[in-house]
Amino acid sequence: MGYPQRMPLTVSHLYRYPLKSAAPLSLDAADIEPRGIAGDRRWMVVSPEGRFLTGRRYPMLTLIEARPVAGGLLLSDRGGQDPLQVACPPDGGPSLPVVVWDDTTAGHLAGAAADAWLSARLGVDCRLVYMAAPTRRQVDTRYAPEGDVVSFADGFPLLLATDGSLADLNGRLSVPVGMARFRPNIVVSGVAPFAEDGWSELQIGAVVLGVVKPCARCVFTTVDPQRGERVADGEPLRTLATYRKQAGGVMFGQNLTVRQPGRIAVGDPVAVW
């Protein structure tokens, strides 16, 4: 495993996104499962045909709050307005083949009430689906062994970012942005800007995570999550592209796989290799 860097690294923030592209939930602690943070991106909005819908094209998704409750999910407008409680569909209930990028997996249908609630807010006919426990969506085998699984996240169980990298970016912007633009699960503090580019593994308590590839960023970073709309100046992606463009895209953050699950908390020390 090698020797960890002697740096005072700590977990500064943890975020869960129960509904893909919707508002984040800030956590004090999180259970890390093979799919990532427990309950992360297990729900998703899709077209009637099953194609995933995200904040890239439907920025209003970022204004929807989705909170796990006993037996399901509580949907509401920002601030808890006009709530709708949705039950988890049964494992053997109606399902739909759903597409996330190049993957096709099963999405269990949440029902007409949820579909209507979301369609009214996004202005497009859509459906709400759930990833049931038995569903297995394989992580890209170029980066993970056969049997590693992921939720409805774009491709990997977890996304890591660092406070140092965000501070470096904000030092180049006329109007600073918050970490919410990048939608990470784990944020680490106490590290030089973009030092995470050189990491291959990190350990937080008993949890061991593999650093498998940098995250290529897209127009979703230009969506202001407080307003649910794309900003006109194209920031921060425009500035990020001037110094973080690499083969494969404009990079910010690192994708992680889960090598040893467990529980982590804000304030936990982080060892990196």
Q: Where are the domains of the chain?
A: 9-272
Residue 109 DSSP SS3: strand
Residue with tokens 């990833």: 131
**pLDDT score at 1:** 45
**pLDDT score at 22:** 98
- Residue 170: which residues within 8 A CB-CB, separation 6 or more? 176, 177
**pLDDT score at 7:** 57
**Torsion angles phi and psi, residue 222, rounded to 5:** -95, 5
**pLDDT score at 4:** 47
Measure the CA–CA gap between 251 and 140, rounded to whole angstroms.
19
Measure the CA–CA gap between 143 and 72, rounded to whole angstroms.
32
| Residue-wise pLDDT tens digits, 160-218 | 999 999 999 999 999 999 999 999 999 999 999 999 999 999 999 999 999 999 999 99
| pTM more than 0.85 | yes
Q: Class of 9-272 per CATH?
A: mainly beta
Residue 78 DSSP SS3: coil
Low-confidence ranges of the chain (pLDDT < 50): 1-5
Residue type (1 letter), 159: L
**pLDDT score at 79:** 80
